[in-house]
Amino acid sequence: MVSSGLPQLLGYMGSVNLARMEAGKRKVGCFGVITDADQFDFVTLNENRQYSVITYRWKAGQKQQIWDSLNWIVAAAAGQSPQGSNDMEE
Protein backbone atom coordinates (compact mmCIF):
# COMPACT_ATOMS: atom_id res chain seq x y z
CA MET A 1 0.00 0.00 0.00
CA VAL A 2 1.47 3.31 -1.10
CA SER A 3 0.11 5.31 1.82
CA SER A 4 2.12 3.22 4.29
CA GLY A 5 5.20 5.18 3.13
CA LEU A 6 3.64 8.56 3.94
CA PRO A 7 5.07 8.92 7.48
CA GLN A 8 8.60 8.26 6.24
CA LEU A 9 8.20 10.67 3.31
CA LEU A 10 6.83 13.37 5.64
CA GLY A 11 9.84 12.88 7.91
CA TYR A 12 12.21 13.51 5.01
CA MET A 13 10.17 16.45 3.79
CA GLY A 14 10.10 17.92 7.31
CA SER A 15 13.90 17.73 7.41
CA VAL A 16 14.13 19.60 4.11
CA ASN A 17 11.60 22.14 5.37
CA LEU A 18 13.57 22.73 8.58
CA ALA A 19 16.90 23.03 6.75
CA ARG A 20 15.42 25.63 4.40
CA MET A 21 13.98 27.59 7.33
CA GLU A 22 17.32 27.55 9.16
CA ALA A 23 19.08 28.70 5.98
CA GLY A 24 16.74 31.70 5.79
CA LYS A 25 15.12 30.64 2.51
CA ARG A 26 11.96 32.47 1.48
CA LYS A 27 10.31 29.35 0.05
CA VAL A 28 10.52 26.50 2.52
CA GLY A 29 7.71 24.30 1.22
CA CYS A 30 8.59 21.09 -0.58
CA PHE A 31 7.15 18.31 -2.70
CA GLY A 32 7.37 14.54 -2.61
CA VAL A 33 6.00 11.51 -4.44
CA ILE A 34 5.12 8.00 -3.28
CA THR A 35 4.31 5.39 -5.90
CA ASP A 36 3.86 1.71 -6.55
CA ALA A 37 3.88 2.33 -10.35
CA ASP A 38 0.08 2.49 -10.46
CA GLN A 39 -0.92 4.81 -7.64
CA PHE A 40 1.00 8.10 -7.48
CA ASP A 41 0.58 10.18 -4.30
CA PHE A 42 1.89 13.72 -4.78
CA VAL A 43 2.57 15.32 -1.41
CA THR A 44 3.05 19.01 -0.65
CA LEU A 45 4.40 20.30 2.67
CA ASN A 46 3.82 24.03 3.11
CA GLU A 47 5.57 26.69 5.18
CA ASN A 48 3.35 25.89 8.18
CA ARG A 49 4.22 22.18 7.97
CA GLN A 50 0.75 21.25 6.81
CA TYR A 51 0.64 18.60 4.12
CA SER A 52 -1.76 17.74 1.35
CA VAL A 53 -1.94 14.70 -0.91
CA ILE A 54 -3.26 14.38 -4.46
CA THR A 55 -3.61 10.84 -5.78
CA TYR A 56 -3.60 9.75 -9.42
CA ARG A 57 -3.79 6.23 -10.82
CA TRP A 58 -1.91 5.18 -13.95
CA LYS A 59 -4.33 2.34 -14.79
CA ALA A 60 -7.31 4.67 -14.35
CA GLY A 61 -6.19 6.73 -17.34
CA GLN A 62 -4.64 9.57 -15.36
CA LYS A 63 -1.25 9.28 -17.09
CA GLN A 64 -1.26 12.88 -18.32
CA GLN A 65 -1.95 14.26 -14.83
CA ILE A 66 0.93 12.15 -13.49
CA TRP A 67 3.37 13.36 -16.16
CA ASP A 68 2.23 16.97 -15.73
CA SER A 69 2.73 16.78 -11.97
CA LEU A 70 6.18 15.19 -12.29
CA ASN A 71 7.25 17.79 -14.87
CA TRP A 72 5.99 20.61 -12.65
CA ILE A 73 7.93 19.32 -9.62
CA VAL A 74 11.16 18.97 -11.63
CA ALA A 75 10.76 22.46 -13.12
CA ALA A 76 10.09 23.96 -9.68
CA ALA A 77 13.15 22.22 -8.21
CA ALA A 78 15.36 23.34 -11.10
CA GLY A 79 14.25 26.92 -10.57
CA GLN A 80 15.29 26.82 -6.91
CA SER A 81 18.62 25.07 -7.36
CA PRO A 82 21.84 27.04 -7.77
CA GLN A 83 23.27 26.94 -11.26
CA GLY A 84 26.32 24.73 -11.63
CA SER A 85 29.38 25.31 -13.74
CA ASN A 86 29.66 23.97 -17.26
CA ASP A 87 33.40 23.42 -16.72
CA MET A 88 34.48 19.87 -16.10
CA GLU A 89 37.52 18.96 -14.07
CA GLU A 90 39.95 16.59 -15.64
Q: Record the pTM.
A: 0.81
Does the CA dihedral 84-75-73-63 come out positive or negative? Answer: negative
For position 68, what pLDDT does the model report? 97
Ranges of the chain whose pLDDT falls below 50: 90
What per-residue confidence (pLDDT) applies to 39? Answer: 96
Question: First-to-last CA distance in the chain?
Answer: 46
Give pLDDT, residue 83: 59
According to the model, what pLDDT value does residue 51 have? Answer: 96
Q: What is the pLDDT of residue 1?
A: 63
